[in-house]
Amino acid sequence: MNAPARDLYTTPRSDWTVAEIAALFALPFPELMFRAQSVHRAHFDPSQVQISQLLSIKTGGCPEDCGYCTQSVHNKTGLKATRLMEVEAVLAEARAAKESGVSRFCMGAAWRSPKDKDLDTVCAMVEGVKALGMETCVTLGMLTAGQATRLKESGLDYYNHNIDTSPEYYRHVITTRTFQDRLDTLEAVRTAGINVCCGGIVGMGESQSDRVGLIHALATLPVHPESVPINALVGTGTPAAETSPKLPHLDFVRTIAVARITMPKSMVRLSAGREDMSDEAQALCFMAGANSIFYGPRLLTTPNPVADSDRALFTKLGLSPMPLTEG
């Protein structure tokens, strides 16, 4: 595959073909990394990484059957379900996060979709976090257009809703909703004027062509998600984790690099699975164009490297937190 003209490195496109993305995945690793770095440097300072913190505001008891998720009632993981947190308790967590350098505060609730009464409480949380001067993100499941508008009015900056995997592999992972349901919520969020955070999970037993399909589905959305989280499966005790072979780190790095090349202006977020990675593997992810991480000890219910080890890694790699205005 010949190197493309320079403008292909820099201009966001939504007309990527499956063949083009498959060809990127198949590049020799050094060439793939060179291209990913070229794109990254055209749009971002490669020494800066945006830091988000994720708080589970309502854990477990979710009626959906996502095969990778410890919070599903269908997966016997022993996780104890909790009620929706009080607004003040959430704001106390947000204040502490801000003091440790976090610029975006994400709140996740394990729902198929929010009830309107619960949405009012979440909107109060969003308003409170915004008042602290932080960016806000929530993930609450499927939304109607009216609910998306209500969240926008509360000041919400980002809505996270992952497409999880390729359209073809989707039914092997989730049966209680369709790939199209995900796209419908993404459209409601985009129409409401909220930034989109949307990515997927790799290492769920999918093939490389499914990883091609995942990136193709993301990169051909009418507008690229502003934030693209790429997760490595953890989900201890879930059907996906019990039956899937571990994805080699280099395949994870390739997925990050192809996401970076195909969605040049998006923040590519290194998400779940980091605690399993060596410093060297994480460094490769940053070199492949990842420029956002979650900070703090837990990602919803998944262990995450503690803040101190993240700080030490940033120092070793010469990275610094991205200021809020560039996030």
The site for ligand SF4 (CB under 6 A) is made up of: 62, 64, 66, 69, 71-72, 110, 141
For residue 33, report the phi and psi dihedrals to the nearest 5 degrees.
-65, -40
Known catalytic residue at 269: yes
Min CB(110)–ligand SF4 separation in Å = 4
Using an 8 Å Cβ cutoff, are 98 and 135 in contact?
A: no
Catalytic member of 69, 123, 198, 285:
69
Nearer to ligand SF4, 53 or 72 (CB): 72
Dihedral, CA of residue 42, residue 326, residue 265 and residue 170, to nearest 10? 140
Using an 8 Å Cβ cutoff, are 137 and 129 in contact?
A: no
Nearer to ligand SF4, 66 or 261 (CB): 66
Known catalytic residue at 137: yes
Catalytic member of 35, 104, 123, 137:
137
Min CB(62)–ligand SF4 separation in Å = 3
Known catalytic residue at 198: no
Nearer to ligand SF4, 51 or 62 (CB): 62
Min CB(309)–ligand SF4 separation in Å = 26
Known catalytic residue at 69: yes
Q: What is the rounded CA–CA span in Å between residue 25 and residue 277?
A: 21
- Alpha-carbon distances, residue 89 vs 85, 97, 112, 125, 183 (angstroms): 7, 13, 23, 10, 32
Catalytic member of 35, 104, 197, 211:
197
Angle (CA) 11 17 18, round 5°: 130
Nearer to ligand SF4, 64 or 210 (CB): 64
Nearer to ligand SF4, 124 or 142 (CB): 142
Catalytic member of 62, 123, 198, 285:
62
Min CB(202)–ligand SF4 separation in Å = 15
Known catalytic residue at 123: no
Catalytic member of 104, 106, 177, 190:
106
CB atoms within 10 A of CB 28: 9
Using an 8 Å Cβ cutoff, are 49 and 286 in contact?
A: yes
In terms of Cβ atoms closer than 10 Å to its own Cβ (0-12, 13-18, 19+), residue 228 is buried
Which residues are part of the catalytic machinery? 62, 66, 69, 106, 137, 197, 269
